Structure 1
Amino acid sequence: MMRKVVLYIAQSLDGYIATKEDSLDWLFSVESEGDNGYGEFINGVDTILIGKRTYDWVMEQEKGEFPYKDKECFVFSRSVNEDTEYVKFIHPDIKAFTNHLKNGEGKSIWLIGGGDLLYTFLQENLIDEMIVTVAPRIIGEGIPLFKAGDYQFNLSLISTRTFNQFVELHYVVER
């Protein structure tokens, strides 16, 4: 059985994952319920894929303390970076690298983002499931969850959940 690549992400009702200034303040201002299912999700993951810009944002927010120390983490970067104790910086062929991971042993693989990396994963048809949590905010402009591109997918909704003001939509990508 192949491992799954799962996009697990939140967006505004109008489809943005961040403001154009990379802010998520709009997201954190919404009244939530517990951890909105994050704990359950993260327990089913042992590998994390993240873009360099998103990684830098996470490290800034976490004051340099890497939050996923118990996971194998790969940061996709166009430039050369030195690996850390918890992170391997890579710039390989994304499709070949991801398929290698999917064919290995382990739990699910979390594609965190950002938008450019997600776009490549969509173009290469590498995503197996999407868990998108919608926040009741309209921010008007920013970084879209889905960039315009030459890709189309049929999705099958397998569950919905609410966490106070948030709605989680869980889809499987039909093949």
Structure 2
Amino acid sequence: MSEKRNLVLFIATSLDGYIATKDESLEWLFNVDGEGDNGYSEFYETVDTVLIGKKTYDWIIKHESGDFPYKNKECYVFSRSTIEDNEDVKFVNDDIVSFTNNLKNQEGRNIWIVGGGELLQSFIREKLVDELILTIAPTLIGKGIRLFKEGDYQLDLLLKGTRHFNQFVELHYQCKK
């Protein structure tokens, strides 16, 4: 049997743990001097499947111009509603544990958790996350949409490595099982 695929969070966050402002702005992120694409292209080549929460999917549709950004990947959007699939994504309202474990047992590359915080919370609570790659921006937002929601869980991590991209610092963790 082949090795299981990894479920990986790759995301940028402010130093105080926010992924967006209260009004869902990412302007603070674009004001930081990075280096190239801050490791995005390198990471993107390691995944063939993308998992997205419905709120994040709606944000992408509203704010991204041009083609859907993950067109060449298998994309699943978790939603509490039944929504018809489109050419870019399949909508899922199945049990998150069985759906994700089924994906992890299939042949393929890594599976990327694009967002958002509520979806991530579910994956963490169910101990489905294998790696966290956090790119920290040297910015304090003070309030906004938190990366990690408050909850009754604990996730122990093992630091795999660090890199920096000008003003950004990347922390790569493996989740202890």
Matched with 1:47 is 49
Who is 1:165 aligned against? 167
The match for 1:136 is: 138
Name the Cα RMSD after superposition.
0.8
Shift of 1:83: 0.8
Find the counterpart in structure 2 of residue 147 from structure 1: 149
- How far residue 63 of structure 1 moved from its aligned partner, in angstroms, is 2.7
Gaps of 5+ in 1: none
How far the C-alpha of 1:64 sits from its partner, in A, is 5.9
Alpha-carbon separation, structure 1, partners of 2:23 and 2:116: 14
Which string of whole-angstrom CA distances, capped at 9 and with x for unpartnered residues, describes residues 131-163 of structure 1? Answer: 000001000001111111111121000110000
Whether 2:40 is the aligned partner of 1:66: answer no
Name the SS for the 2:55 alignment partner. helix
Question: What pairs with 1:86-165 in structure 2 (closer than 5 Å)?
Answer: 86-165=88-167
Higher mean C-alpha displacement, 154-163 vs 61-70:
61-70
SS at match of 1:122: helix
Give the distance between the partners of 1:61 and 1:40, measured in 2 at CA.
Answer: 24
- 1:36 has 2:38 as partner: yes
Q: Under a length normalisation based on structure 1, what TM-score does the superposition of the two structures give?
A: 0.98
What is the percent sequence identity of the aligned residues? 62
Q: TM-score, normalised by structure 2?
A: 0.97
Larger CA deviation: 57-66 vs 4-13:
57-66
Residue 16 of structure 1 corresponds to which residue in structure 2? 18
Helix, strand or coil at the partner of 1:84: coil
Q: CA deviation at 1:65?
A: 2.5
Q: State the 1:80 CA deviation.
A: 1.9
CA distance in 2, matches of 1:80, 1:153: 31
Moved over 6 A (4+): none
Equivalent-residue separation in structure 2 for 1:129 and 1:172 (angstroms): 4
Amino acid at match of 1:9: I
For the 8 Å contact 1:59–1:65, the answer to whether it is kept is no
The number of residue pairs the alignment matches comes to 175
Deviation, structure 1 residue 115 = 0.7
Q: Unpaired runs of 5+ in structure 2?
A: none
